[in-house]
Amino acid sequence: MLQCAVKRFQDSRIHVSGRVRCVFGCRVVLLSLILAGAVVARAGGQTGTVADAQGQASHALSTRVVAYQIEARLDPVKKTIDATEILTYHNLTGRPLDTFPFHLYLNAFQPTSTFMREVRLYGTRGADPESVWDKKHYGAIEVKSFEVVGQGDFTKRLEFIQPDDHNPDDRTVFQVKLAKPVAPGADVVFKIVFHDQLPEVLERTGYKRNFFMVAQWFPKVGVWWHDAWNCHQFHALTEFFADFGAFDVKATVPENYLTGSTGDLVSTVPNRDHTKTVTWRAADIHDFAWTASPDYKLIEDAWTGSAGTVHIHLLLSPGHESSIRRYLEVIKGALDRFDRWYGPYPYDRITLVDPPQGASDAGGMEYPTLITCGTGWWVPEGARVPEMVTEHEFGHQYWYGMVATNEFEEAWMDEGINSYTEAKVMESLYGKDTSMLDLWGMSASDADILRLEYVTLPDTDPLSRFAWQFMNSNAYAAVSYGKTATLLLTLEGIIGEDTMRRAMHTYFMRYRFTHPTGADFIKTIEEVSGRDLDWYFQQAVHGTNVLDYEVLAIRSDPLDWFREPPSKPKKGVTLYRDTVLVHRKADFIMPVDIQIKFDNGDRTLEKWDGRDRWVRFSYDKKARVISAEIDPQHSVRLDKNFFSNSSTEEADRRATHKLSTYWLFATQYMAQLLAWLA
């Protein structure tokens, strides 16, 4: 998800906790092997929908733990949804289960919820701590009845729990204790009647006028993970985590509404009351979202990759026609790069939702096979915000959608890894230095923006911290998005771009349709690269170490300095003692290369392990040192200050003059504007 698609290009991300870092058990490994076979079969030429909601085993890409059948009716006037949900849960935990927790995400949008408490504490996307509560943002989900098939009505026995902060007013998670436990390998069926009050759009979901983005809208069961239920409350900075399964969803909406959803459209049946019932089906996904609006315009396209043809559906809002080509270009480019670099996109559809005016909080978000984008009436071609948002959310089809990490606990693994691949894809599509900005003489890459995000708050939190425990929303964004992407770009410099790509490919193919942890990711990188990178990950992932090197001094001293009268230096004749002093300013230890150039054209590349605080390189040469540069390839992108990474003997004041010229111009112009009042 992009936290603030246009303003700050941030998203939500994860990090590794000690608890989560433990290696996945045999269950996952076995499942991975089975699934890998299934996916290879799919990639080998199967077409059509991924699978139906009944879960045909031969087509299954994932271990389908859940099967949801939902029938919903949208009231576009009251902004409500009344629905029934039949959830079949397959107990694959290997133990009897008698307690089941469920998410009720929409209850976060209430003044006393934990979500709002945290918004007041440190803000979240689109809302700062000073935000005033507006009742139009009220959202709720009420369970009208809860039946366990074969065990009776449990409506009165539902209990709200607050596993994260014990806030008694938070109603985003409830649990039910069954009369009889569900045996290992058995199924349990829940019949739930619920009522949604949608908020005016915020935090990815809700309505705006007659636009509806219906997300996180149904009671969703938690995940049995690492021998316990994992069902966190909805926090200001967290996203989601759920089991794979199948979804069979029917929604009744006004007949003039155009709809889009996760999965595939099965049928549309008109009703007598000027409504229509739309049926969708999807499988091997872990969430379901849908959208409806009478103002959408449907743009269709297609792309063919290694797993067959992918139908592209763009639901465009009015006034955004100028972005059609850009949306389609970037989505096809991203499909192509991901297919070639990381692995096949196995679904036969991707739906792009372009939120209308005033609904940008619904933009920049990912759901399985459906993403929400973000653009404006007119965004200059060189400002690649629509492209970046679209690419980012598409990337989540891989890092979240298929490689379904726990977004509550390890934000860096979906948002950060996705930001890294975003930088790579954007660079491939739009140029190394211009992938984000190429406008009016200005240029910047996506990697530059991510690095800047990291540099603003480099040391507040380790990546491996639960998302809601970050210092604030800025720290969360800086670390989960910016720092992770930057450290992976730096890692690419250590192990090589090709190795990194192979490692990412292996990671994707190995862990798609599973719930890997940060440890799995690190293990894969080390395995593919054949290197022990613990020293790096300990600092970069688990630590808050800051990386900052500098060339402290360069000096060329004539060896005959003591002679009287002093001899006149002669190029190529005078013997100098050349010294270069390099300093590690901060606590991140990183081996670096130092390139030293001399005035006779000689160059030397020194290697320093960075363990000491400083190192001095010394040469006796008939040449003066003219420059020294740490990391001349600029591969150590984690270094927070590139400007101190080099030093030259002679000053080059062109940059200073150029920037001063701009400053001068701005000051003069401001002065003249103000003087208009005089």
Partner 1 sequence: MTPFHPLSRSSGPPISSWGRNVTNLNKSPFVAGAGLVWRRQSVLWWVFLVNFILAGMGAATFMRQISPMLDQSLESQVFVRSFNPMALSTLLMETHGLSSAGMASACLILVFFFFMLFVEGGLLEVYRLDRGLTKGEFFEASGRFFWRFVRLLIMLLIVLIPVGILNNLATRSSHAMDERSPSPVPGIWVRLIGLLLVLLLMQAVRLWFDMAQVRAVAEDDRAIRRALARAFKITFGNFGSLYWMYLRISVVAWLMMAVLLWIWVRLVRPEWIGVSFLLTQLMLLSWLGTRLWQRASETVWYQRRMPAVVKESEQPTPVPAPVPAPEAQAPDFSI
CA distance 277 to 72: 9
Q: Cα(193)–Cα(534) distance, rounded to whole angstroms?
A: 50
Collect all residues with Cβ–Cβ distance below 8 Å to 583 and sequence separation of at least 6.
549, 550, 551, 552, 613, 614
**Max CA distance (Å), the chain:** 108
Assess contact for 345 and 339: CB atoms under 8 A.
yes
**b/e per residue 370-387 (b: at least 16 CB within 10 A):** bbbbbbbeebeeebbbbb
Closer of 400 and 549 to partner 1 (Cβ): 549
| 3-state secondary structure at position 663 | helix
Q: Say what the alpha-carbon torsion angle 570, 572, 578, 580 is, to the nearest 10 degrees.
A: 110
Nearer Cβ to partner 1, position 535 or 669?
669
Question: Least distance in Å: CB of 160 to partner 1?
Answer: 35
Q: How far is the CB of 295 from partner 1 (least distance, A)?
A: 4
Please, which residue, 11 or 287, has the CB nearer to partner 1? 11
Judged by DSSP in three states, 288 sits in coil
Residue 344, preceding peptide bond in cis (omega within 30° of 0): no
What is the binding site for partner 1 (CB under 8 A)? Answer: 208-211, 293, 295, 317-320, 356-358, 376-377, 433, 437, 440-444, 448-449, 451-452, 455-456, 627, 629, 641-665, 667-672, 674-678
| Position 126, amino acid | G
Question: Closest CB to partner 1 among 273 and 650?
Answer: 650
- Is 182 in contact with 212 (CB distance < 8 Å)? no
Q: Could you tell me the two tokens for 448?
A: 């530059």
Q: CB-wise, 439 or 589, nearer to partner 1?
A: 439
Which is closer to partner 1, CB of 189 or CB of 586? 586
**592-598 and 603-608 strand pairing:** antiparallel
Of the two residues 233 and 445, which places its CB atom closer to partner 1 in the complex? Answer: 445
Q: Where does 23-156 show beta strands of DSSP type E?
A: 66-75, 80-90, 97-103, 140-148, 152-153
In angstroms, give the least distance from the CB of 447 to partner 1.
9
Q: Give the nearest distance from C-beta 131 to partner 1 in angstroms.
A: 17
In the complex, least distance from residue 536 CB atom to partner 1, rounded to whole angstroms:
23
Q: Which of 349, 357, 157 is nearest to 264 (CA)?
A: 349
Nearer to partner 1, 404 or 477 (CB): 477
CB of 652 to partner 1, least distance (A): 7
- Closer to partner 1 at the Cβ: 36 or 586? 586
Nearer to partner 1, 22 or 664 (CB): 664
Distances 95 to 102, 183, 288, 383, 460 between C-alpha atoms, Å: 19, 7, 28, 54, 40
